[in-house]
Chains A and B, each alone.
Chain A
């Protein structure tokens, strides 16, 4: 009896410890999940989450498990930039496990906790990849741009709306038909993250890597660095 009580007490202490460890601070986390060849980007602030795309398989679940509190089973906003397998497959399983608020493709602005997201005007698309919605996020003075799979033509159309951001999700896994020098010069990212895995398209291409290097951006690839976590308090930011 004493033994069982001790075991239960130890378990209780363990739960308490997890509670303390996972108790949220008031920083924003911008997480590029390592989902292989695809996109899944999670933003968290306290117990609020925004997920942009859900990857080509169910590996996004591990990413959610790692960055959400044990007691939080709700994702406040889920955005799918465009309906392609490498961007929307994980959502089926997520919706079975979490309470999910899917954001309609037509909404232009959302505010979750202190996370602000604005959809840039939707370009007139030229193919399936380009039929994508581009979202710009901000948290205090920290800005980031999520370019989904857009190409040169769409970048051009968006140029007028854009200004410098701290972090860029490089378009279309580093395809050479995206991320022109002109586009990169306008947004001047401090950090460029390429969400990429094993593929036979040659992503990320040397051309894009060179262009990013030319503007002096730090480059992180999920196929080499694994998951990329950027932390910000609204003023400063760093890569964990």
Chain B
């Protein structure tokens, strides 16, 4: 433990210094060459993505892709997040693609594969259902319509379109649930983890999703191994290792939420299940949401300054639909036919209506 903390501090100090170096260029014209490190997010009339530690905000077109190597020139701006962490950004800089994105064959194929799935969704479903499906199945939130994005934020349901350890536990949980009785429990769990692997690949193997996949499957494994403490220990080890690789994850909201939510499921899952399981249809979702929500609330409070008091209710009204949507999304990705899309549309539109309905209340 002490050794871990020591290494962590050293690594943290290093990255803090690296950041101090960037800070030196604040307000100056700089040129950055690097790979786009995150899925570009489309919001209204702008597009944003990260290169290393710098956020780039640009116009909607031309579209840039995760993994593309670009040269960006502009004036570096800084926004203070807290004492140790800053947001560096380049607003509407000049951008040049310096390398065709098909250099790394595997990465190129993966991106094309995921984009192909997105195209299938977009061609057969209307908005906002299409981008909600892409969010749930692929963990991408690039195309979410503005008003829907707002509604997700207000209702505390954003996590369904973010790749998190929670999403991953749903996948394993669903597979195990469907296969229970047909195959041995151990086989079911293995298949569940394979499903998570497929999900991670579909989502383009982004670091955030890989982290979530590892954490989620470890936590679920621990939960099933019987002892609560095993799961917790696995979660702590996984989280600790990730922090050694990338110390600044401490400030990453997705990371915090993943750890807290899976931790909540492990610590409180049984207790909340006992309370909520009697509720018809949505009882299981309610119990799980409650467990995760209790741990996540303080983080959300400090990050957004507000938490929806009805979040648990809203979540339990929609979370039971997630397994249907995931299954439907996978089928639609393989068989992009209209009738399949109509079947998937049913749970999707129930979900969007609940979210938009509650979102409009505030």
A residues at B contact (CB < 8 Å): 7, 11-12, 14-15, 18, 36, 56-59, 61-62, 64-66, 68, 70-71, 73, 89, 92, 96-97
Contact = CB atoms under 8 A, between A and B. Distances in A.
B122 A15 contact: no
Given A73-B123, A96-B119, A89 B145 contact: no
Contacts of B324: 7, 11
Interface of B: 42, 44-45, 60-61, 119, 122-124, 126-130, 143, 145-148, 324, 338, 342-343, 345-347, 349
B45 A56 contact: yes
A154 B130 CA distance: 41
Give the top 4 A-B pairs by smallest Cβ distance, nearest first.
Answer: A65-B126, A14-B346, A61-B127, A65-B127
B146 A70 contact: no
Given A57-B45, A89-B60, A96-B122, A65 B128 contact: yes
A58 B145 CA distance: 7
B343 A70 contact: no
A58 B128 CA distance: 11
Contacts of B148: 62
B342 A15 contact: yes
A110 B343 CA distance: 36
B123 A97 contact: yes
A36 B127 CA distance: 17
Contacts of B128: 62, 65
Given A70-B345, A71-B338, 6 more contacts: A15-B346, A18-B346, A59-B44, A66-B126, A92-B61, A96-B123
Contacts of B60: 57-58, 89
A65 B129 contact: yes
Contacts of B123: 73, 96-97
Contacts of A97: 122-123, 130
A22 to B, nearest CB: 11
A64 B342 contact: no
Nearest to B129: A65
Given A62-B127, A65-B129, A97-B123, A18 B345 contact: yes
A64 B145 CA distance: 12
A57 B123 CA distance: 18
Given A65-B126, A65-B127, A68-B126, A36 B44 contact: yes
B127 A11 contact: no
21 contacts: A11-B343, A14-B346, A15-B342, A15-B346, A36-B44, A36-B45, A57-B45, A58-B60, A58-B127, A58-B143, A62-B127, A62-B148, A65-B127, A66-B126, A70-B342, A70-B345, A73-B124, A73-B338, A89-B45, A92-B61, A96-B119
A62 B147 contact: yes
Nearest to B345: A70
A15 B205 CA distance: 34
A70 B348 CA distance: 13
